[in-house]
């Protein structure tokens, strides 16, 4: 949490990806409010899938080693996580575009230009024309709020946390078509 003046009631929300835990800080109360599955998305027509195919979709992440990828900008947690997933699968992603806009990245996938890892919280309404796939270990990001210790019972903070939780749970997430092989 950014340092702020001692009288501040500042709160913030954050995201944590597998393998990149936020450091625990003394004097900070953290509360998780949602666990969000991360999916690999490919074009629905299968135009970008590798030679090893099943119903027009890749069987393994490594099947996408020669395909263009859409990524968030360097330095973001999801960028770091995505690159690590590709490295674990034995390749360096060929990056077509870096953008912080997940809807633009999904449009690149929908048009057959790239593949992309996307948090499911974006919602089913945005998944038309793409195929969501689960990774074998079914990774997810954790969304949380943090506030100075002692402020965690403030009525305004409780209302915000409740609203965030209800909003996240209300979004219809697309089911994965299937799970990639390890």
Hey, which CATH number is domain 29-179, 3.30.450.90, 3.30.2320.20, 3.40.190.290, 3.10.20.30? 3.40.190.290
More confident of the two residues 144 and 178: 144
Show me where the domains of the chain are located. 29-179
Q: DSSP state, 77?
A: H
pLDDT score of 49 = 42
- Rounded to two decimals, the pTM is 0.80
Buried b or exposed e, range 14-38, using 16+ CB within 10 angstroms: ebbbeeeebeeeeebebeebbebbb
pLDDT score of 1 = 42
């Amino acid at each position: 949490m950014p340092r702020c003046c001692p009288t501040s009631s500042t709160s913030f929300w954050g995201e944590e990806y597998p393998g990149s835990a936020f450091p625990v800080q003394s004097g900070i109360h953290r509360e998780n409010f949602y666990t969000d599955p991360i999916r690999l998305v490919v074009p629905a027509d299968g135009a970008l899938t590798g030679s090893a195919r099943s119903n027009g979709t890749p069987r393994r992440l490594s099947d996408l080693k020669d395909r263009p990828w859409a990524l968030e900008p360097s330095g973001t947690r999801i960028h770091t996580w995505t690159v690590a997933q590709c490295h674990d699968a034995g390749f360096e992603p060929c990056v077509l575009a870096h953008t912080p806009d997940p809807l633009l990245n999904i449009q690149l996938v929908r048009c057959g230009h790239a593949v992309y890892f996307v948090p499911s919280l974006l919602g089913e309404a945005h998944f038309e024309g793409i195929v969501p796939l689960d990774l074998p270990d079914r990774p997810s990001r954790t969304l949380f709020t943090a506030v100075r210790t002692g402020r965690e019972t403030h009525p305004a903070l409780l209302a915000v946390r409740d609203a965030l939780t209800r909003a996240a749970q209300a979004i219809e997430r697309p089911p994965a078509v299937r799970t990639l092989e390890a």
